[in-house]
Structure 1
Amino acid sequence: MYSALDIDLKPGRGFGIFEIGTSLWTLVDTLRRHPAAYPQIDVKYDPDASATTPIVLHIRPHLDLLFSGKHQRLHTICIRKLRDPNPPVRVQYKDSILSSPNEILRRVGVGKVFGPTYPGDELRYPGIWFSFDDDILGEGLNVAHAGDRTQEVKRIIISQIEPEGRIHDALDEVNECPIMVGDLARAVAKVHDGVTLYFYPTATSTPLHICIGETTAQDLTLDLGPPLRIHYKEDERMLIHAGVKANEPGEGNGTGYFYNYFQYGMDFLISETTHVVRKIVLHTNVPGSPLFQRYKRCNWEIEGKPEDDEDDTPPRKRFSDRFETISHFLSPHEPPPSMSLDRTADEENLNLPNPTTSLHGYDGIILEATDLSQVVSVTLL
């Protein structure tokens, strides 16, 4: 038996745990902890460009959640099938009950609560609009009897309130908002150096530089907080790229432990002897890939060398670029050989259409890519 769904509308913000600007990783992690309330969840995306196109999370039968393609932030909420009793839905705004199992939400009821608005086939207000058709998430269709006061509301759509003069576009990124404070905005990686992290709010936060061979485990704890998990076994399948003979004692023999910061989309391999960062792994959180939703998307960029001393805009390649573009950026000549990695080999109950990725090792960096040329992770050595 499903739990009843109580919706307290907050135009421009959302309702309950569904708040505009929330990351996909955070919201799905929250839903997993409430299986009784949200037993059926579908993830819909474009498999040919899943790294960069929007994602729709469908929570049956009432909710469609649209996440932006780049930052994977909740962009638009669509509440549908208000009359479906499985589970029953109760919608209110402030102290007014708009819809319930015993009350149908109609055009006249919206007007009484929200007041006048511009004429049209939908009733639009800042941060919220009401549609009278059963279409899926998106713009409403023309419907007959648009002036009928008794028209039944079929969908309620909540989105961010745009600045004056700007038109709402479902493909836009979410504007920076309070729920993002403390989250990672982007990570700039430099080969043979480390990564510089930029946090929200972007205008006032101080960047954090994590340097391979210098930053310690204690530094990470002080700057990023304790990791969500500490893992004490290095994946030996990566030793082929380490540049150290596997049978030599010391840093290349597989010893060490990982600090897993799933909430930032990053892992740090720490030396077991010096407790200094040895490797940094940045995750792209690509839908359909084996590690999807284990990590929040890290909006990473790889920075190259500036053309001269006065160049303050060095070239960069981003997670949204195709593997071939990033590979040529790292190695303009012949690309290095690769090896295959099946991340589902140890997961008996995980079946994916394309579970195998390819690892491409360069000087000081490894790219993990899918057969669709999407880079799912970057490892700095």
Structure 2
Amino acid sequence: MFSTLDVDLRPGCGLGAFELGTSLWNILHMLRQMQHLFPQVEIKYDPDTSSTTPIILHLRPHLDLLFSGKHQRLRTICVRKLRDTSPPVTLRYKDTVLSSADEVLRRVGINRSFGPTYAGDDLRYPGVWFSFEEDVIGEGLKGALHREDRLQEVKRVLISQKDLDNEQGDALEEVSECSVMNGDIALATAKVSCAYVHDGVTLRFYPSTSTPIHIRIGTTTAQDLAVTLGSPLRVHYKDDERMTIHASVHDDLDTGYFYNYFQHGIDFYISGNTHIVKKIIMHSNVPGSPLFQVYKRCNWEIEGKPEDDEDDAPPTKGFYDRFETISRFLGPREPPQSMVLDRTIEEENITLPSPPTRLHGYDGIVLEVSEASQVLSVTLF
């Protein structure tokens, strides 16, 4: 016997526990706690553009969640197979049951609850539209013409932000800033002009009116991080000594520890002697990579030197750029010799099509790169 999936419809805002604008990392983390309701979760994306691909989470059999390609934010929610009873779904709007095992959602019921709207193949309202076609999310939004039968049965319900649901809008565009993003990192910028790359990273947060903070390598302390970012989700003490063969004698004497901010997509390596930040690692959360969903996507960029003193828009490269592009940005010469890293070699239950990555080192920067030339993480030191 299946338990009923009982969800409230909030046009322009969300459905049940799912809020528009929420990050992919947060949604998947929440779904792990809701396996009794969603035992089957399928992740769909384009492997050829893995760093910028829109992602669909298919929660069998009723829900499709579409996430934007760059910021990995919940953009559109689709409720489908309303008559499927495994499990049955109850859809509510305010105090009214729109659809349930005993109540079929029809055109007349929508008109009764939402009032009149513009003529078209579907019934569209700000933040929600009702379709009489069986198409899955992301496929043709234009259905065949129907006569406006008042008893016509609704097949799909789609919820999106009110400023993104117009008929001419791009269904795959980014999500507008909203309150659910508050406290998340909007942008992390590392400068490579002069010696700034060794200086750390500037973090900008949602809402966009928030004051940026600067995490400085060699200056910011563990206590500073706790004050500005809160307590890390995990403190990891360095116990893997395999890389010490590449380190200097001074580094070898300082074991250090990591502050892991999975919810921000950032790690900080901190000196065990001085408790000052020595390295910053920012993660791209690329689907199909070994660390996918361990960290939230950090929207990082590397900022170059302005062309002149009056240049208000210095050149930048970000996680969405391919390795070859970023490598040329960091230095005109051939990419430096790389080291191979296989994060899955000791994991028996992880199978990936191309798990090995390569580490490319530059002055103050290390890039971890996939076989598809996607930059999975950037380390500043």
Name the TM tier (shorter chain).
Answer: over 0.9
Identify the range of structure 1 (223-232 vs 143-152) with the bigger mean alpha-carbon deviation.
Answer: 143-152
Identify the range of structure 1 (159-168 vs 7-16) with the bigger mean alpha-carbon deviation.
Answer: 159-168
Residue type of the alignment partner of 2:199 = D
Q: Percent identity?
A: 65
TM normalised by structure 2 equals: 0.94
How far apart are 1:306 and its partner, in Å? 2.7
How far apart are 1:75 and its partner, in Å? 0.1
How far apart are 1:239 and its partner, in Å? 4.7
Q: 1:239 to 1:194 in 2, by over 3 A?
A: farther
* 1:234–1:256 CA contact under 8 A, matched in 2: no
Aligned residue number for residue 199 of structure 1: 205
Cα RMSD of the aligned pairs, angstroms, is: 1.7
Where does the alignment leave 5 or more consecutive residues of structure 1 unmatched? none
How far apart are 1:312 and its partner, in Å? 3.6
User: In 1, distance between residues paired with 2:245 and 2:206?
Assistant: 37
TM normalised by structure 1 equals: 0.94
Residue type of the alignment partner of 1:173 = E
Look up the SS of the partner of 2:341 in the other structure: strand
Q: 1:298 to 1:240 in 2, by over 3 A?
A: farther
Q: 1:103 to 1:165 in 2, by over 3 A?
A: closer
Q: 1:237 to 1:167 in 2, by over 3 A?
A: farther
User: In 2, distance between residues paired with 1:266 and 1:279?
Assistant: 11
Residue type of the alignment partner of 2:349 = N
Q: Following superposition, which runs of at least 4 residues in structure 1 exceed 6 angstroms of deviation? A: 163-166
Aligned residue number for residue 194 of structure 2: none
Among 215, 228, 233, the residue aligned to 1:228 = 233
Aligned residue number for residue 181 of structure 2: 180
Aligned residue number for residue 131 of structure 1: 131
Residue type of the alignment partner of 1:156 = V
Give CA deviations for 1:124-159 in whole Å, capped at 9, x if unaligned: 000000001111003434335431111110000000
Residue type of the alignment partner of 1:214 = T
Give CA deviations for 1:222-281 in whole Å, capped at 9, x if unaligned: 00000000000165455566xx43xx2x33456110000001000000000000001000
User: In 2, distance between residues paired with 1:146 and 1:268?
Assistant: 61
May I ask how many residue pairs the two structures share in their alignment?
375
User: In 2, distance between residues paired with 1:165 and 1:122?
Assistant: 12
User: In 1, distance between residues paired with 2:328 and 2:104?
Assistant: 59
Aligned residue number for residue 342 of structure 1: 342
User: In 1, distance between residues paired with 2:358 and 2:238?
Assistant: 21
User: In 2, distance between residues paired with 1:236 and 1:287?
Assistant: 29
Look up the SS of the partner of 2:30 in the other structure: helix
Aligned residue number for residue 62 of structure 1: 62
Aligned residue number for residue 288 of structure 1: 288
Look up the SS of the partner of 1:218 in the other structure: helix
Residue type of the alignment partner of 2:212 = P
Q: 1:89 to 1:58 in 2, by over 3 A?
A: same
Q: 1:254 to 1:58 in 2, by over 3 A?
A: farther
* 2:254–2:272 CA contact under 8 A, matched in 1: no
User: In 2, distance between residues paired with 1:283 and 1:120?
Assistant: 44
